[in-house]
Structure 1
Amino acid sequence: MGKTVVILGAGWAGLPLAHKLLKYTLPKVKDLKVILVSPNTHFYWNLAAVRGVIPGTFTDNELFLPIQPGFARYPEASFQFLLGKASKIDPDSSTMEITQNDGNKSSLSYDQLVIATGSQILNEMPFKPVGTHEETLNALHSLQQQIKAATSIVIAGAGPTGVETAGEIAAHYGAEKEITLVVGGEHVLGSSTVQPSVRQIVEKDLRKLGVKLIHNAKVDISKASNIGDGDAAAQTTIKLSNATTLIADLYLPLFGIKLNTTFVPANLLDSTGSIILDKTMRVTGTKNIWGTGDVGNLEPKQVTVIDAMIVHLFSALDAVLTGKGEVKEYKLGKPMIFITMGKKYATGQIGGWKLWGLLVAYVKGRNIFVDTAKEYVEGRALRHAAM
Structure 2
Amino acid sequence: MTQTIVVLGGAYAGVSVAHRLFKYTKPQVKDLKVILVSKNSHFYWNMASVRAIVPDLLKEEQYSQPLEKGFAKYPADSFEFIVGSAEGVDVVDKTVKISTDNGTERVLNYDHLVLATGTRAVDNAVPWKSNGTHEQNAAIMTEIQGKIKTAKNIVVAGAGATGIEAAAELAFQYGKEKEVILLSGDSELLSGDSLASNVASELKKLGVQVRKSARVETTREAADGKIEVVLKNGEKLITDVYLPTMGMAPNTEYLPADLLTDRKFVDINEFYQAKGTKDVWAAGDIVWKPRGSFVLTDKQAAGVAKNIDLALKGKPPTVVKTLPMDAMMVATGRSRGVGRLGSVKVFSFMVYMMKGKTLGVERLPSYVDGSAY
TM range (shorter): over 0.9
Q: Partner residue of 2:321?
A: 331
Distance 2:298 2:281 in 1: 16
Identity, in percent, stands at: 36
Aligned to 1:223: 220
Q: 1:368 to 1:233 in 2, by over 3 A?
A: farther
Matched, 1:241 2:242: no
CA contact (8 A) 2:273 2:282 kept: yes
CA distance in 2, matches of 1:372, 1:297: 23
User: Quick one: distance in 1 between partners of 2:229 and 2:337?
Assistant: 29
Q: CA deviation at 1:224?
A: 2.9
Contact preservation (8 Å) 1:299, 1:332: no
* Alignment of 1:358 onto 2:328: no
Query: Residue 233 of structure 1 contacts residue 250 of structure 1 at CA under 8 Å; is this kept in 2?
Result: no
Q: Say how many residue pairs are matched.
A: 371
Q: Deviations over 1:24-64 (max 9, x none)?
A: 10111111101000122210111111011001110011111
Aligned AA (1:155): V
Give the Cα separation in 2 of the matches to 1:224 and 1:354.
41
Q: In the alignment, is residue 301 of structure 1 matched against residue 292 of structure 2?
A: yes
Deviation at 1:80, TM superposition (A): 0.7
Give the structure 2 partner of residue 158 of structure 1: 159
Deviation at 1:271?
2.0
User: Which residue is 1:384 aligned to?
Assistant: none
Between the aligned partners of 2:158 and 2:30, the Cα distance in structure 1 is 49
- Aligned equivalents of 2:297, 2:209: Cα separation in 1: 33
Mark the CA change 1:200 to 1:233 in structure 2 (over 3 Å): closer, same or farther: farther
Give me the whole-angstrom Cα distance separating, in 2, the residues matched to 1:187 and 1:132. 35
Distance 2:56 2:43 in 1: 20
Q: Match of 2:36, SS?
A: strand
Distance (whole Å) between structure 2 residues aligned to residue 375 and residue 118 of structure 1: 21
Q: Give the drift of 1:297.
A: 4.4
Alignment of 1:196-215 (within 5 A): 198-215=195-212
5+ long unaligned stretches in structure 2: none
Does residue 27 in structure 1 map to residue 27 in structure 2? Answer: yes
Cα shift readout 1:83-130 (whole Å, capped 9, x = no counterpart): 111101111100111000011001110000001001111101211112
Q: How large is the Cα RMSD of the aligned pairs?
A: 1.5
Q: Which residue of 2 aligns with 1:107?
A: 107
Q: Does residue 1:277 correspond to 2:268, yes or no?
A: yes
Q: How is 1:13-92 mapped onto 2 (pairs within 5 angstroms)?
A: 13-92=13-92
Q: Which moved more, 1:106-115 or 1:367-376?
A: 367-376
Distance in 1 (CA, whole Å) between partners of 2:288 and 2:141 is: 29
Quickly say closer, same or farther: Cα 1:350–1:233, change in 2 above 3 A. farther
Alignment of 1:134-149 (within 5 A): 134-149=135-150
> 2:228, 2:238 within 8 Å by CA — same for their partners in 1?
yes
Measure, in 2, the Cα distance between the counterparts of 1:151 and 1:164.
19
Q: Which residue of 2 is the match for residue 228 of structure 1? A: none
AA aligned opposite 2:320: Y
AA in 2 matched with 1:159: G
Structure 1 stretch displaced more, 75-84 or 182-191: 182-191
Alpha carbons of structure 1 residues 233 and 39: separation in structure 2 relative to 1, 3 Å: farther
Q: Alpha-carbon deviation of 1:332? A: 4.8
Pairwise CA distance, 1:244: 2.2
Equivalent positions of 1:7-18 (< 5 A) are: 7-18=7-18
2:185 aligned with 1:184: yes
Question: Quick check: 2:50–2:169 contact (8 Å CA) kept in 1?
Answer: yes
- Give structure 1 regions of 4+ aligned residues with deviation exceeding 3 angstroms: none
In the superposition, the TM-score normalised over structure 1's length comes to 0.93
SS at match of 1:123: coil
Deviation per CA, 1:166-206: give whole Å up to 9, x if none: 00000001111111111122211116xx32xx221110110
Report the TM-score, using the length of structure 2 for normalisation. Answer: 0.96
Q: How far apart, in 2, do the equivalents of 1:243 and 1:69 lie?
A: 51
- C-alpha distance in 2, partners of 1:301/1:21? 23
Cα-to-partner distance string for 1:125-162 (whole Å, 9 max, x where unaligned):
21111211111111111111111121111111000000
Is the alpha carbon distance of 1:297 and 1:347 closer, same or farther for their aligned partners in structure 2, counting shifts above 3 Å?
Answer: closer
| Contact 1:146/1:233, CA 8 A, preserved across alignment | no
What letter is aligned with 2:233?
Answer: N
